[in-house]
């Protein structure tokens, strides 16, 4: 997983405030798109995407101010990556198509586990229900 973590870290360095604003404008569509993901091999993916979406929105709206900037940019990168139509493994491939998406999301969650666990507590959520496991 270090290669994926490095990929996420590099991608997160490219995130700017303008990138975050653009993502926020697309967020209602993205959230709807994420609910349509059919990935039985990655049963936590949709919930993880919803969690990261909520975190980005709450930070941007000022409702939550404790998330480190690195966690925010990695969350934004992960959401954008999953939304991309062309990525490392094409999404239309049965069983494998969402493996890269899940890995990118998990890398963002794992690298920022303490910060996201604190955010989950803020929401009154059980961090275990989000799980950073595949």
For the segment 15-39, what is each residue's pLDDT rounded down to a tens digit? Answer: 999 999 999 999 999 999 999 988 8
Looking at residue 86, its pLDDT comes to 75
DSSP 10: H
pLDDT at 124 over 60: yes
pLDDT at 102 over 90: yes
d(CA 14, CA 56): 16
d(CA 115, CA 36): 27
Average pLDDT taken over every residue of the chain: 91
Looking at residue 116, its pLDDT comes to 98
The helix-helix angle for 45-60 and 17-35 (nearest 10°) equals: 140
- Locate the DSSP E strands across the chain: none
User: Can you tell me the mean pLDDT for 81-87?
Assistant: 85
Q: Express each pLDDT in 47-82 by its tens digit.
A: 999 999 999 999 999 999 999 999 999 999 999 999
d(CA 80, CA 74): 10
Looking at residue 60, its pLDDT comes to 96
DSSP 94: T
d(CA 4, CA 116): 19
How far from the centroid of its chain's Cα atoms is residue 41's Cα? 17
């Amino acid at each position: 997983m270090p290669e994926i973590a490095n990929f996420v870290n590099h991608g997160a360095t490219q995130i700017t405030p303008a990138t975050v604003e653009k993502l926020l404008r697309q967020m209602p569509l993205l959230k709807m798109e994420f609910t349509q993901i059919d990935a039985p091999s990655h049963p936590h993916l949709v919930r993880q995407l919803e969690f990261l979406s909520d975190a980005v929105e709450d930070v941007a709206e000022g409702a939550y101010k404790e998330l480190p900037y690195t966690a925010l940019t990695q969350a934004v990168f992960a959401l954008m990556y999953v939304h991309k139509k062309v990525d490392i493994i094409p999404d239309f491939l049965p069983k494998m198509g969402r493996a890269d998406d899940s890995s990118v999301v998990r890398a963002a969650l794992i690298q920022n586990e303490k910060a996201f666990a604190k955010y989950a507590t803020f929401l009154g959520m059980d961090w275990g229900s989000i799980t950073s496991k595949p």
